[in-house]
Structure 1
Amino acid sequence: MEGFAVWLTGIPSSGKSTIARALEERIKARGVKVQILESDEVRKSLTPRPTYTEDEREAFYRALVYIGELLVKHGVNVIFDATANKRVYRDEARRRLSRFLEVYVKCPLEVAINRDPKGLYRKALRGEITELPGLQKPYEEPLNPEVVVEADRERPEDAAAKIERKLKELGYL
């Protein structure tokens, strides 16, 4: 049976990775196979010295969707943990994956800047990074996500439970 894909999108440091891990835990507790595709980890293999140019981003997200598509076709459920700052990247996944759920991890910029576990905003504010989505590059909010998480108001565990409920409602779980 074909798997499903959940795409967690939002600005950097919005809480995508924490929610992805909480969701993974809930899905695995049901005895269901699931794999997180964390963009930062996948990028290390595909573009070891990323430049974050538009061409590179487009190629990266095409490859990420392709990897997810292969897993889903072989019955592995996928959680994409990826900013994907342009709608076109996420729309491509929606087109290619029939059992797809987009989750917008909505987070005020100030909250993300204060969290900043990887130091991206500090680097951007010092000029060491010039392409950070949400700060120096636009982040295109999803138009019709299946789930919206208010990252500054909802605990990651509650967000994961909300996503799990939607997966059940859609018949994916």
Structure 2
Amino acid sequence: MEHKGVTVWFTGLSGAGKTTISQVVAQKLKDAGYKLEVLDGDIVRTNLTKGLGFSKEDRDENIRRIGFVSNLLTRNGVIVIVSAISPYREIRDEVRGKIGNFVEVFVNAPLATCEERDVKGLYKKARSGEIKMFTGISDPYEPPLNPEIECRTDLEELDESVNKVLQGLKDLGYLAD
């Protein structure tokens, strides 16, 4: 299926639902015949950005590298689904500027909700001091000021959030009706 390339960048706290929503969106787009790639933050860290830590500089470099790959794919007509905490607004805006066809999806859930969903036990470790510089606890998360799409995963069912993303991409002209 011929379509414009676009990077769909899911950002939000750990446990907000970025991976869950992005996986379902990706599957629906794949089923509809779109060319796409998924760059999940956890998977990228074990392959593309191995060796980077969690200082602000390393986090920014991680996002720059994801953005670089996203840009290459986007300009070649691929829909790129990125799921990464990407806590700092400035670096997200930098990546947006380089890519151009960029849709920011703010996966928004209150910190308390994310802590309740903490399947990996990361918040617990961060609160006990085992994990330093943890986003939302000992390191800031800067929410987007004007995301194209916002999913409130504490208030919406999964299919509502998925449909909101797909409809947003249609409204922005990236998907056929």
Q: Same fold per TM (> 0.5)?
A: yes
Deviations 1:35-68 (A, max 9, x none): 1111111111234344201221121111110011
Match of residue 170 from structure 2: 168
| Matched ranges for 1:2-81 at <5 A | 2-81=4-83
**2:92 aligns with one of 87, 90, 93:** 90
Decide whether the 8 Å contact of 1:65 with 1:93 is kept in 2: yes
Match of residue 161 from structure 2: 159
Deviations 1:6-26 (A, max 9, x none): 111111110000000111112
For structure 2, which runs of at least 5 residues remain unmatched after alignment?
A: none
Distance 2:47 2:27 in 1: 25
Distance 2:95 2:171 in 1: 21
Decide whether the 8 Å contact of 1:120 with 1:129 is kept in 2: yes
Question: Which range moves more in the overlay, 142-151 or 49-58?
Answer: 49-58
Decide whether the 8 Å contact of 1:26 with 1:160 is kept in 2: no
Q: In structure 1, what residue type is equivalent to 2:153? A: A
Using the TM superposition, give the Cα deviation of residue 75 of structure 1 relative to its aligned residue in structure 2, in angstroms.
Answer: 1.6
Q: In structure 2, what residue type is equivalent to 1:61? A: I
Using the TM superposition, give the Cα deviation of residue 93 of structure 1 relative to its aligned residue in structure 2, in angstroms.
Answer: 2.0
Q: In structure 2, what residue type is equivalent to 1:114? A: E
Distance 1:117 1:89 in 2: 28
- The TM-score with structure 2 as length reference comes to 0.92
- The TM-score with structure 1 as length reference comes to 0.94
Decide whether the 8 Å contact of 2:13 with 2:85 is kept in 1: yes
Distance 1:79 1:46 in 2: 16
Secondary structure of 2:37's aligned partner? strand
Decide whether the 8 Å contact of 2:11 with 2:18 is kept in 1: yes
For structure 1, which runs of at least 5 residues remain unmatched after alignment?
A: none
**1:116 aligns with one of 90, 94, 118:** 118
How many residues get paired? Answer: 173
Distance 1:78 1:66 in 2: 12
Matched, 1:145 2:150: no
